[in-house]
Amino acid sequence: MINVEEAARSLSEEGFNFRSMKGVHAFHEKTDVTFGHLDDLTIEAYVATGEPMDKAGGYGIQGIAGSFVRRINGCYYNVVGFPLFRFCSELLKIEGSGRLTKAT
């Protein structure tokens, strides 16, 4: 968990970029997130909400901070916490048929 100062420092960098990478067995998923300009008052107000305190990078893209994001290059769900599409695609390769089937 980060503290208020660390969250504010991360968000105050002009053109703040955060790269989220997760490793799952034999693959990794990379997503680049680019933030717009955040003034000190906006950063202070956001940090005061408490939202960034338990988040990697000091922000929650699925919350208020989503409105700060200028661009995402990659998988949104990877930033939230788990690259679901990639995981399912890799799982289907392992399963062999390449398609979803009804569990029996």
The answer to the question of residue 104 being in a domain is no
Q: Which domain holds residue 84?
A: 4-95
In three-state secondary structure terms, 83 is: coil
pLDDT tens per residue across all 104 residues of the chain: 788 988 888 888 878 888 887 765 678 899 999 999 999 999 999 999 999 999 888 899 999 999 999 999 999 999 999 999 998 888 888 777 666 666 65
The answer to the question of residue 102 being in a domain is no
Write down the pLDDT at residue 89: 86
Write down the pLDDT at residue 57: 85
Write down the pLDDT at residue 66: 96
CATH number of the CATH domain containing 79: 3.90.950.10
The answer to the question of residue 13 being in a domain is yes
Lateral strand order in the sheet of 27-35: 17-24, 27-35, 69-73
Q: From start to end of the chain, where are the E strands? A: 17-24, 27-35, 69-73
Separation between Cα atoms, residue 66 and residue 86, nearest integer Å: 22
Confidence (pTM): 0.67
How many domains does one find in the chain? 1
Write down the pLDDT at residue 13: 81
Is the distance from CB of 75 to CB of 31 less than 8 angstroms?
yes
Separation between Cα atoms, residue 61 and residue 79, nearest integer Å: 7
Write down the pLDDT at residue 43: 95
Write down the pLDDT at residue 102: 66
The answer to the question of residue 62 being in a domain is yes
The answer to the question of residue 12 being in a domain is yes
